[in-house]
Amino acid sequence: MAPSGKKFKVCVCGGAGGIGQPLSMLMAMDERVGELSIYDLSVSMVPAEGVAADLSHIERPSKVKAYSLDIKSGKKPVDVMEECLKGCDLVLIPAGVPRKPGMDRADLLNVNIGIAKDLMEACAKFCPNAMVGLIVNPVNSVVPAMCELYTQRGLDPRRICGVTTLDVVRANKFVHEATGAPMESIQVSVVGGHAGATILPLFSQDAAAATMSADSIAAMDKRVQDAGTEVVTAKAGKGSATLSMAYAGARFGRAVLAGLDGERRMECSYVMSSVTELPFFTSKVTFGPKGVEEVHPLGALSAHEQKRLEEAKKLLKVEIEDGLKAFGGLSKL
């Protein structure tokens, strides 16, 4: 289905960072994007204004504008983001800090949940009906917390999605490399969550992946879980998966915009769910004119996948609870 010609407004929060810059470029290139807001802090690696100026020179009709927050001002995003967010159809949030040496998951959550909360409060005020794609780690905990924020504001928490597309992208590429099957024919669903053993690729449901041996599937399952570490190691600790994450974030963004434009698209995403007994879960989601239109069941699983599912759910339950507890502490401040 060809684009209708309608143009959408997109904002990338953290748009001057390692993920944000390439993600902003890919969204500026999307034919459905008419206006792109790039938001970041005044202390970002380069000024948001510089990223916007750079992208404004590419051969695409999208208008690119920068917005920044001077951290010395004492203001919060909600104080400065009205023009940036007003009229937005999609907000992508790769803001937040990466895990640093000596920082455990709880430390990361305590920092990034505050960053996400400040940005989501601005979204709740200025673009409450926009779809929001959260790339803020740990996604398994941050998404439930931000959905609770929207629920408390009387807004629809189904507008919030955790972007887990990179797990799918990696699984597809690894299967292609192992089997030689055409890339366009491979569609591995990755369900569960977006960290470690909560990541569950359903290789049995893809024709090419299903041809691999049991040992190969078990090894590839582990490789998808640990793929982020693979990149960090290759970068000698000087960076993480920024480029592939930007690619995956843009793929997610394109699916959401296509859906809003009337062309229903399916992607895996971490959302409010009744697919399992957990309130949040990653599975296939259909995006349409109303945003999330259907959250699909898991389908038939192999014995290996069924065993892994139980393991993933136990871990994910704790991480969901951690996010809600952390948000409860923040909301009392």
Report, as residue numbers or ranges, the catalytic residues.
194
Residues sharing a CB contact under 8 Å with residue 165, sequence separation 6 or more, in sequence order: 248, 249, 251, 252, 267, 268, 269
Peptide bond into 138 cis (omega under 30): yes
Question: Which amino acid is located at 21 in the chain?
Answer: Q
Q: Cα 123–127–131 angle (5° rounding)?
A: 85
